[in-house]
Amino acid sequence: MEQRSVLIIYTGGTIGMVLNSDTGSLQPLNFDQISEHVPDLMKFGFRLDTISFEDPLDSSDIGPDIWIKIASIVMDNYDNYDGFVILHGTDTMAYTASALSFILRNLSKPVIFTGSQLPIGVLRTDGKENIITSIEMAAAKEDGKAIVPEVCVYFENKLFRGNRTTKINAENFSAFQSANYPPLAEVGINIKYNREAILIPNKKAPLQTFLNFDNHIAILKLFPGMNKAFIDSILGISGLKGLILETFGPGNAPADEWFVKRIRKAIDNGIIVLDITQCSTGSVILGRYETSRKLYEAGVISGYDITTEAATTKMMCLFGKYQNPEEIKSYLNISMAGEITTN
């Protein structure tokens, strides 16, 4: 029987941190120190290799350059492994996982992000189970094909589609939710894969990558009583290409003429405006209420049930890849990597 193989990419995060007794802050360890804490890894009998960032990062310091670095490591090693496990801080893991789902097109192997809330050296750590199960799922195959050929986040017994996740808890082991999409697998005594929810890759299409991100975007979270100067300052950002409007309920915003006029003007000036909901569950339905019909008529695009993390990384990726605004809008309206449900 062929030996399964998994590449572990260690980027940093709490999972590999220790307490610096001088400063009282958590600081990163290197991967060898981490693996000492999980000797059971070898019992799988898999070929496990590791690539470790020279300077492990807190995920608050991770952005487009590092997304591209992680994706490039996956690509360079794509043919040599059955799957990939990425150890990453939890704070921005949902962003990085979303970004990778847009970078790695036609993926046919698992890329599983995991980390932990407590460092691996702490007795009650959640890190050991998270690493061990992620490796098992990254190597899992059926009829010679990967069971979960997607970019995923594994945390506290659940495997989620990465671009559907949000970090919702800074304290509990169960730190992530995927409010608008079911888990791809649930882990108890057995690993139960939710096969209907898993994306089936297009067998004929080779792995492709979108390796450019353009960060000329902004997120505007609406709140009652917004000041006109605040809106003007956001819409007046020089070079702004895309605006994510975090609206109320199913996509609503104040119907005040001054507000709608500014949004309309921004769109007329070529800014693409995407409407996503502040609610963690549910979808934008433009036109359901008068307060969203005006946005729709102004040319705002529906973000459906997309998360902020997926919307941000998808927009940056589309602006990095395409020049034509109509092309960008058409991609915003469809699911590129399972990130939205449009029907």
Residues recognised as catalytic: 14
Q: Residue 15: exposed, middle, or buried by beta-carbon count in 10 A (0-12, 13-18, 19+)?
A: buried
Which residue number places its CB atom closest to ligand ASP? Answer: 89
Nearer to ligand ASP among residue 117 and residue 134 (C-beta): 117
d(CA 71, CA 81): 14
d(CA 191, CA 133): 9
With CB under 6 A as the contact rule, the residue among 82, 91, 275, 309 that binds ligand ASP is 91
Q: How many residues bind ligand ASP (CB under 6 A)?
A: 10
d(CA 149, CA 213): 23
Q: Is 90 in the site for ligand ASP (CB under 6 A)?
A: yes
Closest distance to ligand ASP from the beta carbon of 23 (Å): 15
Instruction: Tell which residue, 162, 77, 88, has the closest CA to residue 337.
Output: 162
With CB under 6 A as the contact rule, the residue among 29, 52, 58, 266 that binds ligand ASP is 58
CB 13 within 8 Å of CB 30: no
With CB under 6 A as the contact rule, the residue among 7, 9, 13, 64 that binds ligand ASP is 13
Closest distance to ligand ASP from the beta carbon of 155 (Å): 10
Structure token pair of residue 79: 């043919």
**Residues 11/159/332/212 CA torsion (nearest 10 deg):** 20
Nearer to ligand ASP among residue 170 and residue 189 (C-beta): 170
CB 85 within 8 Å of CB 114: yes
Q: Is 59 in the site for ligand ASP (CB under 6 A)?
A: yes
Q: Is 52 in the site for ligand ASP (CB under 6 A)?
A: no
With CB under 6 A as the contact rule, the residue among 101, 114, 117, 163 that binds ligand ASP is 117
Closest distance to ligand ASP from the beta carbon of 299 (Å): 37
Instruction: Tell which residue, 206, 254, 252, 202, has the closest CA to residue 227.
Output: 254
Nearer to ligand ASP among residue 15 and residue 318 (C-beta): 15
Q: Residue 324: exposed, middle, or buried by beta-carbon count in 10 A (0-12, 13-18, 19+)?
A: exposed
Return the number of other C-beta atoms located less than 10 Å from residue 205's C-beta: 10
Nearer to ligand ASP among residue 146 and residue 175 (C-beta): 175
Nearer to ligand ASP among residue 12 and residue 183 (C-beta): 12
Q: Is 307 in the site for ligand ASP (CB under 6 A)?
A: no
Closest distance to ligand ASP from the beta carbon of 320 (Å): 24
**Sequence-ordered alpha helix ranges (H) in 59-211:** 64-76, 93-103, 127-139
d(CA 162, CA 151): 6
Nearer to ligand ASP among residue 12 and residue 110 (C-beta): 12
Stretch that binds ligand ASP, among 88-96, 103-111, 188-196, 236-244 (CB under 6 A): 88-96
Residues forming contacts to ligand ASP in the complex (CB under 6 A) are 12-14, 58-59, 89-91, 115, 117
